[in-house]
Amino acid sequence: MERKSNTSDLYSKKEAMFEMANNGPRKIEVLVPVNDEDAETIVEALNFKGKACDLATKDIERSLGTVQAKKLKPEYNAKDTVQKNIKLG
């Protein structure tokens, strides 16, 4: 008998709660120039806060090669919203 994991369901619920609290889904956009070989590839993290951005983009950046420059958004210095439910008693 095959047993299904609820991990993806739990992730989906947590991600949905995050999206409601932070005005949209987390996305990573990779802009690759098509007709200009000298243009830079841009990796942009959307709806991330704090170091979550670094964690989300590090593998992509490593795959693309050397990072020439990094421009941090104001959200980088914000703390990620975490909701904790604590039951007392």
**What is the per-residue pLDDT across 40-79, written as a single tens digit (0 to 9) for each?**
999 999 988 888 889 999 999 999 998 989 898 888 887 7
**Residue-range definition of the domain harbouring residue 37:** 26-77
Distance, in Å, from the CA atom of 39 to the CA atom of 33, rounded to the nearest integer, reads 6
In a domain, 89, yes or no: no
Q: Radius of gyration over alpha carbons of the chain, in Å?
A: 17
Q: Give the count of domains, the chain.
A: 1
User: Is pLDDT above 50 for 86?
Assistant: yes
- Please say whether the beta carbons of 43 and 64 come within 8 A: yes
- Please say whether the beta carbons of 39 and 33 come within 8 A: yes
**Burial of 48 by CB count in 10 Å (0-12 exposed, 13-18 middle, 19+ buried)?**
buried
